């Protein structure tokens, strides 16, 4: 395709350095990355490209031959990233995949894809929660991140600026250090659009972890592709609770940015969150609405549980601490995991090492919990076919698992998950939303 000719039909203005990259002066890999980036920038109707200071690559997940070929093509051309670049989950737990149902040929290809991205000078974090590593971006940083939950967290909670980078484009930004100057990179596109006012949602509810995936799911449903603003939170959510909002909202509604008034950095007030504009619509969030959302996140089943899966997004050190506390308490009461239930935690290598150092893994191992790093149940074909009912405390797993894995899902608290793994039955508490 004749890039130079097509450029005449667009408003995209390239710097001399951009043109030089496009002409191949920086090598074949940069040329290929820049040619893809330019074509995508035209589709986005960008006027310019901008410099980025970091990238996070979601293309690492093996989903087929094309993505593998793409990664290996870049690797063969000697591609190297131009900015600090973390890697999202892959399609394989490199060290434990044989303990699961992962087909050998899948494992070989997923591993090749990991090796291709690792060869580009990237940081092999292999996690969907890069914001819980030392590579967390700062307020105002222009970055190119893939992975929907990470995008929402970066924009909303950190005040960094990234569009929703799709697979394959993310690595082009990383190699060139450039991104289209559109969307959430620009201040005017970061204003709130829909106002959600909490009404009658007590501090007791707001302090519970179970509240946040429900709130996130609701945000995604009422503000798909919009920027929701939540007013009325009176407690300071934890980092993991904020993570849970973004993950659920990005799943149920492709939300890439949200504001929590008085909490997230671009929303000190309602006016600031909306940049002085009027909301397109307003919704009152009552305990009844939360309860309805909560019930809709689960199958209407009272069935036996086959798998408890926690760690979506990847488990943090604090979440390991909490789980160790809950499981430790159960073990002291003489309770044991039901032999027919698998208890799975998905996390990153670095968080697993930190949990080991902190002594959080002893009770998990005594309970027979399994831990998987680098990937998760949605990114690798690890589950055996006898898994029919999955229980989780994750809004994202709850949203995607029925469609992607063909299983029934029950969403509940971490305590509910542990209790269910002991009895083998759905033990979800009827959480009191009033
Ligand atoms: Fe991460 Fe997999 Fe969830 S990539 S966000 S653990 S679906």
Residue range 217-249, pLDDT digits in tens: 999 999 998 999 999 999 999 999 999 999 999
Dihedral (CA of 44, 50, 51, 53) sign: negative
pLDDT higher than 50, residue 182: yes
State the pLDDT at residue 302.
66
CA distance 362 to 169: 41
Closest residue CA from atom 6 of ligand 1 = 312
State the pLDDT at residue 372.
98
State the pLDDT at residue 133.
96
CA distance 150 to 313: 9
Q: Is the CB of 128 under 6 A from ligand 1?
A: yes
CA distance 288 to 51: 46
Average pLDDT over every residue of 392-407: 97
Q: Is the CB of 60 under 6 A from ligand 1?
A: no
Closest residue CA from atom 3 of ligand 1 = 312
Q: How far apart are the first and last CA of the chain?
A: 61
Structure pTM? 0.96
Residue range 33-47, pLDDT digits in tens: 999 999 999 999 999
State the pLDDT at residue 20.
98
Q: Is the CB of 407 under 6 A from ligand 1?
A: no
E strands present in 235-338? 259-260, 281-285, 307-315
Residue range 20-37, pLDDT digits in tens: 999 999 999 999 999 999
Atom of ligand 1 nearest to the CA of 376: 2
pLDDT higher than 60, residue 120: yes
Instruction: Name the residue among 433, 384, 379 with its Cα closest to residue 401.
Output: 379
Q: Quick one: pLDDT band at residue 350, thresholds 50, 70, 90?
A: very high
Residue range 125-142, pLDDT digits in tens: 999 999 999 999 999 999
pLDDT higher than 50, residue 1: no
Could you tell me if residue 369 is left (phi over 0), alpha (psi between -120 and 50 degrees) or otherwise beta?
Answer: beta
Q: What separation in Å is there between the alpha carbon of 378 and the centre of ligand 1?
A: 7
Q: Is the CB of 75 under 6 A from ligand 1?
A: no
Q: Is the CB of 396 under 6 A from ligand 1?
A: yes
Q: Quick one: pLDDT band at residue 343, thresholds 50, 70, 90?
A: very high
């Amino acid at each position: 395709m004749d890039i130079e000719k097509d450029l005449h039909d667009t408003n995209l203005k390239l710097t001399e350095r951009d043109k030089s990259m496009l002409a191949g002066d920086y090598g074949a890999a940069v040329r290929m990355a820049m040619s893809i980036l330019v074509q995508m920038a035209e589709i986005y109707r960008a006027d310019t490209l901008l410099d980025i200071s970091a990238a996070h690559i979601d293309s690492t997940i093996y989903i087929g031959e094309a993505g593998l070929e793409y990664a290996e093509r870049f690797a063969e051309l000697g591609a190297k990233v131009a900015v600090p670049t973390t890697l999202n989950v892959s399609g394989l737990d490199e060290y434990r995949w044989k303990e699961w149902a992962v087909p050998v040929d899948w494992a070989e290809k997923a591993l090749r894809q990991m090796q291709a991205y690792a060869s580009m000078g990237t940081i092999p974090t292999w996690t969907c929660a890069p914001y819980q590593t030392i590579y967390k971006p700062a307020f105002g940083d222009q970055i190119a991140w893939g992975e929907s939950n990470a995008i929402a967290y970066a924009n909303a909670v950190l005040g960094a600026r990234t569009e929703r980078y799709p697979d394959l484009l993310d690595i082009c930004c990383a190699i060139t250090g450039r991104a289209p100057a559109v969307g959430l990179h620009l201040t005017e596109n970061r204003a709130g659009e829909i106002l959600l006012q909490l009404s009658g949602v007590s501090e007791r509810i707001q302090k519970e972890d179970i509240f946040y995936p429900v709130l996130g799911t609701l945000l995604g449903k009422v503000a798909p592709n919009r920027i929701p603003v939540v007013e009325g939170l009176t407690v300071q959510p934890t980092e993991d609770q904020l993570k849970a909002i973004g993950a659920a909202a990005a799943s149920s509604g492709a939300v890439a940015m949200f504001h929590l008034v008085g909490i997230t950095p671009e929303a000190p007030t309602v006016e600031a969150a909306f940049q002085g504009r009027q909301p397109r619509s307003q919704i009152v969030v009552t305990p009844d609405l939360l309860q309805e959302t909560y019930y809709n996140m689960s199958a209407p089943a009272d069935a036996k549980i086959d798998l408890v899966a926690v760690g979506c997004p990847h488990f943090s050190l604090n979440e390991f601490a909490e789980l160790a506390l809950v499981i430790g308490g159960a073990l002291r009461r003489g309770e044991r995991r039901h032999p027919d239930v698998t208890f799975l935690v998905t996390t990153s290598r670095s968080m697993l090492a930190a949990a080991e150092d902190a002594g959080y893994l002893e009770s998990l191992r005594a309970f027979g919990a399994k831990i998987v790093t680098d990937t998760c149940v949605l990114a690798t074909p690890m589950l055996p076919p006898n898994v029919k009912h999955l229980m989780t405390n994750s809004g994202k797993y709850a949203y995607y698992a029925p469609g992607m894995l063909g299983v029934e899902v029950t969403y509940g608290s971490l305590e509910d998950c542990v209790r269910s793994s002991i009895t083998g039955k759905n033990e979800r508490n009827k959480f009191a939303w009033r």
